[in-house]
Homo-oligomer: A and B are copies of this chain.
Amino acid sequence: MSTKRLKIVFLGAGNVATHLSKALQKAGHPILQIYSRTEKSAKELAMQLNVPYTFNLSDLNEEADLYVISISDKAIEPLLAQKDFGTKLVIHTSGSISMGVFKGHASNYGVFYPLQTFSKFKEIDFKKVPVCIEANTRENEEILLAVARELSDNVQLVSSQQREIIHVAAVFACNFSNQMYAIADKLLKEHGLPFNILLPLINETAEKIKITSPVEAQTGPAARGDQNVIDNHLKLLTNFPEFQKIYSFVTESIQSLQETRNK
């Protein structure tokens, strides 16, 4: 499928902006300019793409077909308060900000939310990244769907309400499961043991749920109701009251979801 080449300006130079601008450039869309409040970040990404940059919002290139706002959620409203996009198509890439944020600041707008955890240090196969699209008109929807389908094999229309649910679910599935790894790492380090002994286990845990539901896949002392083990683990965590609290609540939560399962 081939779509029109869109001239694009990126507002933002963080993890998402970096991966998305590279993918769009690779797909043949000219990136006209990178804007970031922080000169260093703007310059860094602009150099990778070999395009101009600015850290001054009033120097924004006005010739683009598409403006992509990819900055931290809390910075989106303040940026829109400073900059009117007129009839230009403008989108953001946030999981949790409603499309309504654009009202009064643009007449053509939408959302392009790539559901993935991006880090600058690691390449991503964009083909496999689910992209959630929303737009204020059917025409804008078609433009965004076409661009998204060039990058990804998994493109879906998702409303603002659905997107915020997906985002909070993603925080549990990604950020919070990663924090469970971080706690494990901390406990092992504290006792001079290597984190990498857990890698096959972590891998298998993430694999299992491709073929069954997480509730069905659950194992371990909480699911088995092995109270002796649970008590012993809580004792082992005495020096980490914060981890102890998490241990207790997550154990309770496992047991309550297992009960639902057995009903």
Chain B residues near A51 (CB-CB < 8 A) = none
Residues of B within 8 A of A213 (CB): 182, 185, 195
Does A81 sit within 8 A of B, measured CB to CB? Answer: no
Which B residues are in CB contact (< 8 Å) with A252? 242
Contact with B along A117-128 (1 / 0, CB 8 A): 111011010001
Any B CB within 8 A of the CB of A198: yes
Task: Assign chain A's interface to a size class.
Answer: 35 or more
Q: Which of A179, A210, A227, A243 has the most CB of B within 10 A?
A: A179
Q: Does A204 contact B (CB under 8 A)?
A: yes
Residue interface mask A124-147, B partner, CB < 8 A = 1: 100011100000000000000000
Pairwise interchain contact B174-A228, C-beta atoms closer than 8 A: no
CA distance A74 to B230 in the complex (A): 11
- Check A228–B179 contact: CB distance below 8 A: no
Tell yes or no: A173 within 8 A of B by CB. yes
Q: A56 contacts the other chain (Cβ, under 8 Å)?
A: no
Task: Indicate if the CB atoms of A178 and B217 lie closer than 8 Å.
Answer: yes
Q: Which residue of B lies closest to A187 (CB)?
A: B169
Nearest B residue (CB) for A209: B181
- 8 example contacts (A-B, Cβ-Cβ < 8 A) are as follows A73-B228, A117-B219, A162-B191, A168-B187, A179-B214, A179-B222, A203-B206, A246-B246
